[in-house]
């Protein structure tokens, strides 16, 4: 009788542990509510802006329900080595990897995802959402991409979402 009770308890405990593991595997695709840009005003407080200014630090805040967030502002793309062609001064990539992609010193453009030297910005969680600070080196139009995921796994079960916010105009 004691032996049967012990086996029943072990089987019940195994069933509870197994069912709790299955519940963790069901993770919803994260969504993004908004992306806002802030710059420091004259008093040093965050002030909401419509578009960033080149050479000045902007705080990018992503309001999302995701567990992890990465921002790809698209302002920097520097190829490791360039050669100037003999016909008109056009530059082309000289250093390429084994898949014929340029080797980058650094890049924060999502189109370069997976290439050597490409990296998104790490974010920090605050009461307003995930945020990071960034300085656009040049004026122009840049493609802002935000990648959000739950638990940070690179697996289709955890449904990372890549949201392209389109072109951001920097003054």
Write phi, then psi, for 21 (nearest 5 degrees): -65, -40
Q: What percent of the chain has pLDDT over 90?
A: 1
Lowest-pLDDT choice from 27-31, 42-46, 87-91, 153-157:
153-157
Q: Is residue 46 part of a domain?
A: yes
The number of beta carbons lying within 10 Å of the beta carbon of residue 160 is 19
Q: How many structural domains comprise the chain? A: 1
Q: Is residue 66 part of a domain?
A: yes
Task: From residue 120, give the alpha-carbon distance in Å to each of 17, 20, 85, 106, 159.
Answer: 37, 34, 31, 10, 18
Gap between the Cα atoms of 43 and 20, Å rounded: 51
Gap between the Cα atoms of 97 and 99, Å rounded: 5
Q: Is residue 23 part of a domain?
A: no
Q: Is residue 85 part of a domain?
A: yes
Q: Is residue 75 part of a domain?
A: yes
The number of beta carbons lying within 10 Å of the beta carbon of residue 163 is 15
Q: Is residue 101 part of a domain?
A: yes
Supply the range of the domain harboring residue 57.
30-170
pLDDT at 93 over 80: no
């Amino acid at each position: 009788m004691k032996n049967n009770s012990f086996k029943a308890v072990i089987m019940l405990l195994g069933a509870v542990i197994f069912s709790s593991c299955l519940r963790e595997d069901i993770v919803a695709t994260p969504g993004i509510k908004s992306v806002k840009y802030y710059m420091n005003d004259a008093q040093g407080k965050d002030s909401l802006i419509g578009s960033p200014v080149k050479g000045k630090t902007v705080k990018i805040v992503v309001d999302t329900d995701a567990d992890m967030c990465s921002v790809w502002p698209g302002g920097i793309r520097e190829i490791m080595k360039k050669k100037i062609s003999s016909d008109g001064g056009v530059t082309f990539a000289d250093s390429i990897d084994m898949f014929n992609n340029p080797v980058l010193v650094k890049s924060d453009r999502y189109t370069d995802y997976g290439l050597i030297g490409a990296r998104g910005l790490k974010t920090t969680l605050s009461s307003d959402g995930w945020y990071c600070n960034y300085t656009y080196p040049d004026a122009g139009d840049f493609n802002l991409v935000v990648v959000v995921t739950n638990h940070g796994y690179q697996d289709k079960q955890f449904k990372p979402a890549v949201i392209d916010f389109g072109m951001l105009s920097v003054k």
